[in-house]
Amino acid sequence: MRHLLIYDMIEAVHSSGSIRKAAEDTNITASALNRRIQGFEEEFGSEIFERLPRGMRLNPAGELLLHHIRLQRQDLARVHGQVADLSGIRRGHVKIACSQALLPYFLPREISKYRAEFPDVTFTVNVRDRIQAERDLVSFDSDLALVFEPAHMVDFEVLHAVHQPVMAVMSAAHPLARQESLRLRDCLEYDLVLPASQFGVRVLLEQASARLGRKLEPVLETDSFDMVRHFAAYGQGIGFQIPVGLNALARPDMAFMPIAHRDVSGGELYLGHLRGRTLPVAALKFATQVVTALSVQGNA
Amino acid sequence: MRHLLIYDMIEAVHSSGSIRKAAEDTNITASALNRRIQGFEEEFGSEIFERLPRGMRLNPAGELLLHHIRLQRQDLARVHGQVADLSGIRRGHVKIACSQALLPYFLPREISKYRAEFPDVTFTVNVRDRIQAERDLVSFDSDLALVFEPAHMVDFEVLHAVHQPVMAVMSAAHPLARQESLRLRDCLEYDLVLPASQFGVRVLLEQASARLGRKLEPVLETDSFDMVRHFAAYGQGIGFQIPVGLNALARPDMAFMPIAHRDVSGGELYLGHLRGRTLPVAALKFATQVVTALSVQGNA
DNA sequence: CAAAGCGGTGCAAAAAATGCATCGCTACGC
DNA sequence: GCGTAGCGATGCATTTTTTGCACCGCTTTG
């Protein structure tokens, strides 16, 4: 609320006791703040601060005004709350179809962040592959889909896309973990743990290795990304995953390294909904948050 | 208050119904006003106006905000008043919504008595029926309401209530004027001058005569209490009024007699303000004086 | 008695608000 | 059915306001 900034300033001066200190909190110069205060006092019709040699103190008029400011803020917050209520942001249910990669870190984090602000919004998260996810949108079983390299996208309206390179996942003790960069052909010399063939990462890897004239021969093929990570963690070979499914901080015993872009270019993670559909408020707002989170992660 | 200008603009757009008209009132260009509104909506976090082909209308969020704006303004006015008090100046403005009965004697007397002590306090008096009066409080168009038998009283916080019997009003020469006490059925034998059906006195009389199995058939029905009194003064029938609207001393040519309590029990005259509101100093002080005056009259 | 901290102010630069011209749209009158 | 009038929105040049910087005078403090 830009037009209420002066109130913040008054409170800052009040609580810090001097214009100079308050100026730091407010991120403006003392002179600017000083003139804002003076300007306000002129409009208001009376001084609200006593000028002491050591700083500023509210005078009785200022005390009265401060009370008004607080009352006013509180009432504005109430209005905001009521507006939020009637726009439906506060309550609601969001149904999400997503790739497995989103399950361990990304979605739990985003959902709990969202629910910290709107505790009355509930969620359904269904794991779906790239084809099923779109089907879920069409049948209205999901509001949002968050999938890696979706299959046809006829009914899929993209809200946001973010590029995801393919990461090799291995034990920190693995010979390749010490290398600067990682080529696909190096990986092929070791035991591979691959997701099943319906997954986007697998498709990308198959294409890339075909270009090398090689064939992928996994020691373990699974439809559980958890399995991939854990098997790799035991030092048993190399797994693959996209960044959004990994959390470097959480696993110091593991190494996550991007495969050289010229070998495997990676793919796109798409957030979208059913084409032409107007989303419920809660779903739309959550989608906005997810877009922000994906952008930040993409830049980091 | 320059920083609250945006509120004026919002109200201007609300009351004129279009940005272009409001722009004239505000002495600003339509484009500038348009962008102020848009900017505010962005800060506020939601639209507050519906854009119609013919102009702008507040949406529900806007209605909520409008109420906040009015509350906020009034509270600021109260603070101003209190600050003025601090500096020893007794200034201020009191806005009153009242029933017609208060106009001829009661309010003029009380207001001039108050202004004898505080000549810098000014007044606005609006005649409102029982429903409109409450509406005025809600919209902050009035500080105080003084009404007979208010309708619902949801937002009405009572400061004082005083009982008012229903009085018959007639020429001193009227046959009934010589009686000791007056029964309703006696009145019904004569020509009746009645206030219109939205008035409390009329409602009470209708209920009472229904209990007698009679129907009121006025020869004159009017929404002017002055008309009632003057018509009765000419000897043309019996009018009705509550004591606060009468002044026995002023009209020796007329007779005012209470209807027997068992026939018409009378009603309550309420002084009140908007529920939960802190009144400006001047209004509060005037209210105190009115409470005193009503108590005295009630006892006399 | 010097140093540190305070609010206040002149002036140039930066930022915001405004006015003007104009667009696209919809309802209304002929 | 079509033109017109009224509406909100917007790009751009201009004006107004706000801000930052440097510095003043003052009072307290060690």
Q: What angle do CA A229, A233, A235 make, to 5 degrees?
A: 130
Q: Distance (Å, rounded) from C-alpha A96 to C-alpha A289? A: 14
Q: Inform me whether the pLDDT recorded for A98 exceeds 90.
A: yes
Nearest-CA neighbor of B208 among B225, B190, B188, B193? B188
Q: Distance (Å, rounded) from C-alpha B49 to C-alpha B31? A: 16
Q: Indicate whether B274 and B290 sit together in one domain.
A: yes
Query: Any atom of strand D under 7 A from CB of B21?
Result: yes
The answer to whether B275 touches B76, Cβ cutoff 8 Å, is: no
**CA-only gyration radius of chain B, Å:** 24
The residue whose two tokens read 């019997």 is B165
Q: Distance (Å, rounded) from C-alpha B95 to C-alpha B82? A: 17
A80–B2: do the CB atoms touch at under 8 Å? no
Q: Inform me whether the pLDDT recorded for B278 exceeds 70.
A: yes
In a domain, B121, yes or no: yes
pLDDT at A300: 44
Q: Indicate whether A75 and A99 sit together in one domain.
A: no
Helix (H, G, I), strand (E, B) or coil at A131: helix
Paired tokens of A208: 């890339």
pLDDT in tens, A181-230: 899 999 999 999 999 888 899 999 999 999 999 999 888 888 889 889 88
The answer to whether A220 touches A194, Cβ cutoff 8 Å, is: yes
B3–A1: do the CB atoms touch at under 8 Å? no
Q: Range of A147's domain? A: 92-162+268-299
Q: Indicate whether B115 and B152 sit together in one domain.
A: yes
Q: Indicate whether A77 and A216 sit together in one domain.
A: no
Query: Any atom of strand C under 7 A from CB of A2?
Result: yes
pLDDT in tens, A56-88: 999 989 999 999 999 999 899 999 999 988 888
Nearest-CA neighbor of B268 among B247, B292, B242, B245? B242
Which helix H or strand E contains A220, and what residues bound it? Answer: strand A220-222
Q: Inform me whether the pLDDT recorded for B292 exceeds 50.
A: yes
Query: Any atom of strand C under 7 A from CB of A275?
Result: no
Q: What is the CATH number of the domain that holds B43?
A: 1.10.10.10
pLDDT in tens, B83-101: 988 876 677 889 999 999 9
Q: What's the mean pLDDT in A102-109?
A: 91
Return mean pLDDT, chain A. 90
Q: Inform me whether the pLDDT recorded for A299 exceeds 70.
A: no
Q: Helices (DSSP H) in B173-224: which residue ranges?
A: 184-187, 200-211
Which helix H or strand E contains B239, and what residues bound it? Answer: strand B238-241
Nearest CA in chain B to A66: B79
Q: Indicate whether A277 and A150 sit together in one domain.
A: yes
Q: What is the CATH number of the domain that holds A187?
A: 3.40.190.10
In this structure, the number of other CB atoms found within 10 A of the CB of residue B72 comes to 20
Q: What's the mean pLDDT in B53-76?
A: 93
Q: Indicate whether B184 and B236 sit together in one domain.
A: yes
Nearest-CA neighbor of A142 among A178, A206, A77, A97? A97
Q: Indicate whether B175 and B261 sit together in one domain.
A: yes
Q: Indicate whether A202 and A179 sit together in one domain.
A: yes
pLDDT at A150: 82
Nearest CA in chain B to A67: B79
pLDDT at B233: 85
pLDDT in tens, B175-207: 898 887 899 998 998 989 999 888 889 999 999
How far, rounded to the nearest angstrom, does the alpha carbon of residue A284 sit from its chain's CA centroid?
14
How many CB pairs lie under 8 A apart between chains A and B?
A: 65
Q: Which of A56, A87, A118 is the last residue of a domain?
A: A87
Letter string b/e over residues A104-131, b meaning 16 or more CB atoms within 10 A of that residue's CB: bebbeebbeebeeebeebebebebbbbe
Question: Which residue's CA is nearest to the C1' of nucleotide D28?
Answer: A53
Q: Indicate whether B114 and B139 sit together in one domain.
A: yes
Q: Indicate whether A141 and A51 sit together in one domain.
A: no
Q: Indicate whether A179 and A252 sit together in one domain.
A: yes
- Span of A20-24, A290-294, B230-234 with lowest mean pLDDT: B230-234
Q: What's the mean pLDDT in A14-43?
A: 92
Q: Indicate whether B252 and B287 sit together in one domain.
A: no
Q: What angle do CA A149, A130, A98 make, to 5 degrees?
A: 95
**Total structural domains within chain B:** 3
Q: Which of A87, A112, A136 is the last residue of a domain?
A: A87
